Amino acid sequence: MFALPLLVASILNGLMTGAVYALIAVGLTLVYGVLHIINFAHGAILTAAMFAAFLAFRAGIDPYLAMVPLALLFFGLGYAMQRLVIGPASHGDDRNILLVTLGLAIVIENLLLAAFKSDTRTIEVPYGFATIDLGFTFVVVPLAIGFAVSCAAAALLWVLLARTDTGKAIRAVAKEKLGAALAGIDVAHIYAVTFGLGAACLAVAACLLLPTYYVNPRVGNAYVLVAFTIVVLGGMGSIAGAIAGGLFIGVVESLSGLFFGESLGQLGIFLIFILVLLVRPTGLFGARA
């Protein structure tokens, strides 16, 4: 059995990594909820955002300072990508969108491979090793910031969806595309805004990850599978579900790593995943079909 301090430290660590999972999953679930497609380019966009943050750091801008400008930039890129590439190329067929995003993922990853080569890069920031001493464990400052900012970003997104006109329009399109169009909502525009918001979430996540993580042209893949799991667990298209699911998966992964060994850390995730699918197929927060 493990001592209590080790357990608590492990749970804290799980919450902090889980918050970033949640933010990545929020982007994915938002796009699913509105466009009803799985965005296969999600991991590749995350990788691109991490390289953008890396380049910003090289240019002397701290990742945390680069967060807002990069979020805006990636919102624009995401918007343009949906409006100019994915939308036109899909000809209104959902299955085509699936393949287009898959193709985009391959293109983005290989462009990054060509531009940055396969090296794994890390950055060293002055606060990279800063910790808060809790007596029984050290909380790593960049991870704590990651937790706080992820929660704030998710809350901001929720306010945007709940309180603004654009948010209302997004929810309307998600519920009933045709009805929304008849009410005068520009569906193509809303699709692109949603895609942009998903990309902006990734830009924020990238800036939070970079100070304690690394970047190479395949880095996004490590997060995508877990993000998919969170989206299904939380309920496809549910923002609250993605946040709760992300934190939950983070803790489960951390604890099952402790009890079953790190190699089988994923085991806990998928056991719970299967249980949820059996007991509640719509996910924790999913609407009944």
Residues of this chain that bind other proteins (CB under 8 A): 2-3, 6, 9-10, 13, 17, 95, 98-99, 110, 113, 117-124, 128-129, 131, 137-138, 140, 143, 212-214, 216-218, 222-223, 226, 254, 257-258, 261-263, 265-266
Can you tell me the distance from the alpha carbon of 249 to that of 268, in angstroms, rounded to the nearest whole number?
9
- Minimal distance in Å, beta carbon 227 to other proteins? 12
39 vs 254, which CB is nearer to other proteins?
A: 254
117 vs 163, which CB is nearer to other proteins?
A: 117
- Minimal distance in Å, beta carbon 17 to other proteins? 5
Residues contacting 275, CB < 8 A, separation 6+: none
- Exposed, middle or buried by CB within 10 Å (0-12, 13-18, 19+), for 11? middle
150 vs 238, which CB is nearer to other proteins?
A: 150
- Minimal distance in Å, beta carbon 245 to other proteins? 16
103 vs 167, which CB is nearer to other proteins?
A: 103
Judged by DSSP in three states, 121 sits in strand
Here the tokens at position 35 are 């466009």
Task: Estimate to the nearest angstrom the gap between the alpha carbon of 124 and the chain centroid.
Answer: 23
171 vs 218, which CB is nearer to other proteins?
A: 218
117 vs 175, which CB is nearer to other proteins?
A: 117
* DSSP category for residue 84: I
Residues contacting 284, CB < 8 A, separation 6+: 233, 234, 235, 238, 241, 244, 245, 276
Which residues, listed in sequence order, are joined to residue 131 by a DSSP beta bridge?
A: 140
- Minimal distance in Å, beta carbon 190 to other proteins? 25
User: 57, 63 in Cβ contact below 8 A?
Assistant: yes
Distances in whole angstroms, Cα of residue 175 to Cα of each of 32, 40, 140, 171, 227: 12, 22, 41, 6, 23
Here the tokens at position 90 are 């899909």
125 vs 240, which CB is nearer to other proteins?
A: 125
- Minimal distance in Å, beta carbon 203 to other proteins? 19
- Minimal distance in Å, beta carbon 244 to other proteins? 20
- Minimal distance in Å, beta carbon 226 to other proteins? 8
Judged by DSSP in three states, 169 sits in helix
